[in-house]
Structure 1
Amino acid sequence: MNMFRIIKEELGNIITAFITPLVALLLLGYVYSNVFVENIPYGIFDNDNSALSRNIISQLQNHPGLDVIYYAESESDLEEAINSKKINAGIVIPKDFSIDMAMKKSPNVMFLIDDTNMLIGGNALSYSGSVIGTLNAGVQMKMMQGNNMYDSVVKSTMGTFSYAERLVYEPQGGYTRNMLYTIAPVVMQMFFLTKFSLPLLKRKKKEFVTIKFKSKQFIMSVLDIIVRTLIISTVSVIASFTGLFIIRKLFDLPLRGDILIYAVLMYAFFFSLMAISFVFAAFIDNAAYFEQGYLMLNMIFVLLSGVAYPLYMMPENLVRWVKVFLPIIHVAIPLKALNLKAIGWDVVLPYLNSSFKYTVFWLIVGVSSYSISIAYKRYRALDESKEEVEDDALVSIN
């Protein structure tokens, strides 16, 4: 076996395996580099026109996350502005709001949010709520002071019950940006199946038809598959880690955990991909149809990986079947947890165990079906050769 010959033959795949995840990660890392959603188009309908309502408007205008660009003349006007996409959110300050506040009637303001984009809608609601919550605390303090309460008593009263918010692992809350941990295996899975493993096994199937099992040539062909798989897997692991490392330096994407655990997870992922590739190679003759079908289902793989939507929220039967058929589900969740939480082997081992079971199961099914397809093609080839011999014999007799 000539290693240099293999590398030369796989040079195109090696370059593609390195560039594809690198480009995808850098591009999406740049797109999601700004983890905070700011300057959300915002509207206001002030039906009170009091000093308190003007103070609320001033605070909303000064908030960096909101861009107050629309002042409605009525509540329906504000709703129409949201429906027409002029703004993404707004606030309605009701009539006699300040009077009701002074009378301690607990008046309410109303937020109107366009939640068709939950990322923008959620942030707009959070920003609006923080402004109103801050003003509410200030108004309560002034009302207590107006009732001849000492400042020390007011502060102790306001602080009798309080809470502190602490976001662990990822305080920025960059949910969308954290999908980058899943993009790496998704992109590599697409390349590995469509451009490497399936074409390789289809090409090897033609060789296996013409050689005997257990022969030296057969053993060398099997070793050739193993070596090529290890080469492409190694290049892909290096490329994906390099991409994540660059994003960490440029865009502060959290990158924690043991690099050895990362490598083991990714190698286990590629072995599982190779196992199921035998099944595809056994039944698929036209790789173009497979590639088209895969591209159609690619987004489904992302949504079912357990990162975009948690597994415990999915139906149990769906999760069971997803774990049987999709290899990415065994790597996406631990890969994200590794980078965000720096999990250890005790957490990773159950995922590696499930990935190992997946690989063994599909390797048995895949190699069996692959061998049967080779035997069938060999039988067809022998049958066709016999027919040709018989035809030649008839021609010679005639």
Structure 2
Amino acid sequence: MLFLRMLFEEFKSIIFEKDVIILLVLGPIFLTFIFGGAYLNSYVEDIPIAVLDEDNSSMSRMILQQFSEDDRFNLCYNTNSREELKNLIDSRKVHMGLYIPPDFSKDVTTLESSDVLIVVDGSNMVVGNNAYAQAASIIQTIAAGTQIKLIEAKGIVPSLSYNIAMPFQFTDRILYDPKMTYMNYLIVGFIGVFLQQVMLSGVGISVVKKGEYLAGKKTFKKLFARLIVLSTLGLASTFTSIYIAYSFFNIPIKGNMQVAFLMALIFILAISCPAIILAALVKDRLKFAQISFMLSLPTFATSGYLWTMDQLPAPLITGIKMLWPLIYFVRPFDEVIVKGLSFEVVKGNIMEMLIYTLIWMPIAIFILKKRYKQEECAN
């Protein structure tokens, strides 16, 4: 009964903290709409390109027509020199250039080696990779078709000429996100980071505001009661955001939401540990806000979401796992929702978050009590 009364008091207290309510309830929902809108287009399309056709043959014009009709490209400029082509790329008026050399058609028909040069601005990885991949696909398709025609011209029947030109093929099957869209790849991970940031800020602000009260008697019960209220609000807004991603942005939801809910709940307990420690150390709301938002990018970048964990240096992974829990949560959380991973697959991540919490929560409570007891003694 005493704990329920404490829980009710914490609920009444937090309800009147407008900044915390706005942050926890509206923050993830607002950010989901913002980031979802940013990635509303599934692909990078209408990439501006320039061409330099020094061959001006029916074959070169056919190649340019293929690029002109492709939705991925917008053929904006026909240039007259290599220098002009380079200047258009350097000035960011186009992201890719296509160069067809003189005598290209003649060299092809006489079976001489000849190249079509694709010049891609690699400073923008997203645009550059998309432009290069689609351009290479178009050129390879045209090259294969041309080779078949040349073989047929030598009197070989079409079925045999195809087998000579294409001695083997491959088939593919892309699982979970066949279209490989940026939206499906990023949005659930972003929602996981939103949960981190709102809980980090919500718990931290509560510690800064109520530090002396929380550091008094029954610290653990007071903290636990406050975390229950804060986590209820954070979880409600997070799963509302997932519903928005599903309903408005067509994100595939294949997983067990109960497993995802369990992971999010335990992550909230884990992320509360550094939130309590940082807030108790700085004891200033503005400084805490600056630190917490500064941490959002490096913690996400090293979480194994954008860059796979097996490509990170081992010492860095060890250090991150010791200090910050997002690495246990955000990628498995995404894969539970999008891929439908079972509890058995992610239970190791859940256990790691529990171990992290069991180690760091006593340390967080110790620092909280020590910092505010020092302030009490000074007064």
What TM-score do the two structures reach when normalised by structure 1?
A: 0.88
Structure 2 residue 65 is matched with structure 1 residue 61: no
**Which of residues 200, 203, 206 in structure 2 aligns to 1:197?**
203
Q: Which residue of 2 aligns with 1:246?
A: 244
Other-structure match for 1:6: 10
- Which among 78, 87, 99 is matched to residue 85 of structure 2? 78
**C-alpha distance in structure 2 between counterparts of 1:316 and 1:236, whole Å:** 32
Q: Secondary structure at the match of 2:59?
A: helix
2:146 equivalent among 139, 159, 167: 139
Write the mapping of 1:109-124 to structure 2, written as runs, cut at 5 A. 109-124=116-131
C-alpha contact 1:184 1:240 (8 A) present in aligned 2? yes
**Partners of 1:68 and 1:186 in 2: CA distance:** 38
Deviation at 1:15, TM superposition (A): 4.5
Contact 1:268 1:356 in 2 (8 A): yes
Does the 8 Å contact 2:252/2:338 carry over to 1?
Answer: yes
The question of 1:130 aligning with 2:134 is answered: no
Q: Take 1:16 and 1:177, find their aligned partners in 2: how far apart are those partners?
A: 25
Aligned to 1:384: none
Task: Kindly state the Cα deviation for residue 142 of structure 1 after the two structures are TM-superposed.
Answer: 0.7
Q: Give the CA deviation at 1:42.
A: 0.9
Moved more, 62-71 or 222-231: 222-231
* Percentage of pairs with the same residue: 24
How far apart, CA to CA, are the structure 2 residues paired with 1:333 and 1:102? 51
Question: What stretches of structure 2 of length at least 5 have no aligned partner?
Answer: none
Q: Pick one of 22, 25, 35 that aligns with 2:32.
A: 25
> Which deviates more, 372-381 or 80-89?
372-381
Whichever residue aligns with residue 186 of structure 2, its letter is M
Q: How many residues align?
A: 372
Provide the rounded CA distance (Å) in 2 between the counterparts of 1:289 and 1:204.
Answer: 16
2:307 maps to 309
Q: Which runs of 5+ in 1 are unaligned?
A: 212-217, 382-398
Question: Structure 2 vs 1, CA of residues 116 and 208 (structure 1 numbering), >3 Å: closer, same or farther?
Answer: closer
Deviation at 1:135? 0.9
Q: Which residue of 2 is the match for residue 343 of structure 1?
A: 341
Computed over aligned residues only, the root mean square deviation of the Cα atoms, in angstroms, reads 2.0
> Do the aligned partners of 1:279 and 1:362 also contact (CA within 8 Å) in 2?
no
1:214 corresponds to which residue? Answer: none
1:48 maps to which of 55, 67, 70: 55
The aligned amino acid for 2:188 is: Y
SS in 2 for 1:236: helix
Alignment match, 1:223? 221
Q: Do the aligned partners of residues 260 and 299 (structure 1) sit closer, same or farther apart at CA in structure 2, a change above 3 Å counting?
A: same
Structure 1 residue 268 displacement after superposition = 0.9
- Does the CA contact (< 8 Å) of 2:98 and 2:119 recur in 1? yes
Aligned to 1:283: 281
How far does residue 329 in structure 1 lie from its aligned partner after superposition?
1.3
Worse-matched range after superposition: 279-288 or 324-333: 279-288
* Deviation at residue 237 of structure 1 after TM alignment: 1.6
- Write the distance in 2 (CA, Å) between the matches of 1:121 and 1:66: 12
* TM-score between the two structures when normalised by the length of structure 2: 0.92
Shift of 1:254: 2.3
Give the residue type in structure 1 aligned to 2:106. Answer: I
Identify the range of structure 1 (295-304 vs 120-129) with the bigger mean alpha-carbon deviation.
295-304
Structure 2: distance between partners of 1:369 and 1:295: 22
- The amino acid across from 1:85 in the alignment is R
Q: Equivalents in 2 of 1:14, 1:155: separation in Å?
A: 66
CA distance in 1, matches of 2:214, 2:38: 47
Q: Name the counterpart of 1:385.
A: none
